[in-house]
Amino acid sequence: MTAQIINGKEIAEKKRVEIAEEVIRLKNLGVTPGLAVILVGNNHASRTYVRNKEKACHELGMNSILIEMQEEVSEEELLAKIAELNETPDIHGILVQLPLPKHIDEKKVIESISPSKDVDGFHPINIGRMMTGQNAFLPCTPYGIMVLLEETGISIPGKHVVVVGRSNIVGKPVGQLFLNQDATVTYCHSKTKDLPLHTNQADILVAAVGIPNFIKAEHVKDGAVIIDVGINRNEAGKLCGDVAFDEVAKKAGYITPVPKGVGPMTITMLMYNTVKSAAESLNRD
């Protein structure tokens, strides 16, 4: 068997066309969706991510503002800026690029963002709403994974989903989204004993570990759906996922590549959430 490739780039482009149409509808109603991105310090990777987010906003006809702060900025100053953006009507989404410098409490910062503008979906109120199946901003990478499966026509109810990784931004929420759609979910992590025993039961296997080529053919059941969240560099400096693509693709039914798999969906769902926030602001006014 050779797995069918889930083309995240193509699916993201399709979604972006739908988002652009919604932006036009909102503009006709007098609202241009606006995203504020706060970048603290000079982390090279963060700067690239932020640039890509701004570019996506402009391509979709949305507004974006970038607020750059020095590495030494105080927590107080950052919180004051967020408080100001919470009250700015033409800003519908606020995103603080992580990681933050060590002297700033990340949890406190995330909790200071108004839940109605938390387009990253990291605020505990949005996480609680997601867990209880209420209207919420869903975290972008997990949400993007669900859209990839939906667009590929892969049914979820009753499937056994195994998630390797339990971070707050990927592993935990993606498992929850699968559970919300009636999957049976197993979480694995660094303390899991006999990992292959669990992963071999997966109809859908999500790898969110951050170790190049960690998931091998021996971890995978014939015909399984493999979602590779990892963005890593191998020894040669080449971009690669958490899954040993060539050997796993021979066994799996479907697989996401890296790049052009999960990655393009993350920014797309950020745009989706910002537009959703703008639409919801209309109902509040």
Determine if residue 231 is labeled as part of a ligand binding site. yes
**What distance lies between CA 198 and its chain's CA centroid?**
24
**Assigned token pair, 14:** 């399709």
Q: Which of 216, 263, 221 is nearest to 244 (CA)?
A: 216
Q: Is 210 in the site for ligand NDP (CB under 6 A)?
A: yes
The answer to whether residues 262 and 256 touch, using CB atoms and an 8 Å cutoff, is yes
Residue 120 among the catalytic residues: yes
Q: In this structure, how many other beta carbons lie within 10 angstroms of the beta carbon of residue 140?
A: 25
Within 8 A by CB and 6+ apart from 152, the residues are 6, 11, 254
Q: How many residues bind ligand NDP (CB under 6 A)?
A: 25
The one catalytic residue in 97, 159, 203, 228 is 97
Residue nearest to ligand NDP (CB): 167
- Of residues 80 and 211, the one with the C-beta less far from ligand NDP: 211
Q: Is 209 in the site for ligand NDP (CB under 6 A)?
A: yes
Q: Which of 26, 147, 174, 229 binds ligand NDP (CB under 6 A)?
A: 229
The owner of tokens 């040993």 is 244
Determine if residue 165 is labeled as part of a ligand binding site. yes
Q: Is 266 in the site for ligand NDP (CB under 6 A)?
A: yes
The one catalytic residue in 15, 81, 118, 120 is 120
Residue 97 among the catalytic residues: yes
CB of 190 to ligand NDP, least distance (A): 3
Q: Is 193 in the site for ligand NDP (CB under 6 A)?
A: no
Q: Which of 146, 164, 225, 240 binds ligand NDP (CB under 6 A)?
A: 164
CB of 195 to ligand NDP, least distance (A): 6
Determine if residue 284 is labeled as part of a ligand binding site. no
Determine if residue 67 is labeled as part of a ligand binding site. no
- Of residues 82 and 231, the one with the C-beta less far from ligand NDP: 231
Q: Which of 189, 196, 233, 280 binds ligand NDP (CB under 6 A)?
A: 189
The answer to whether residues 268 and 247 touch, using CB atoms and an 8 Å cutoff, is no
Q: Which of 34, 165, 173, 257 binds ligand NDP (CB under 6 A)?
A: 165
Q: Which residues are catalytic?
A: 53, 97, 120
Binding site residues, ligand NDP, CB under 6 A? 141, 164-167, 169-171, 188-192, 195, 208-211, 229-232, 262-263, 266
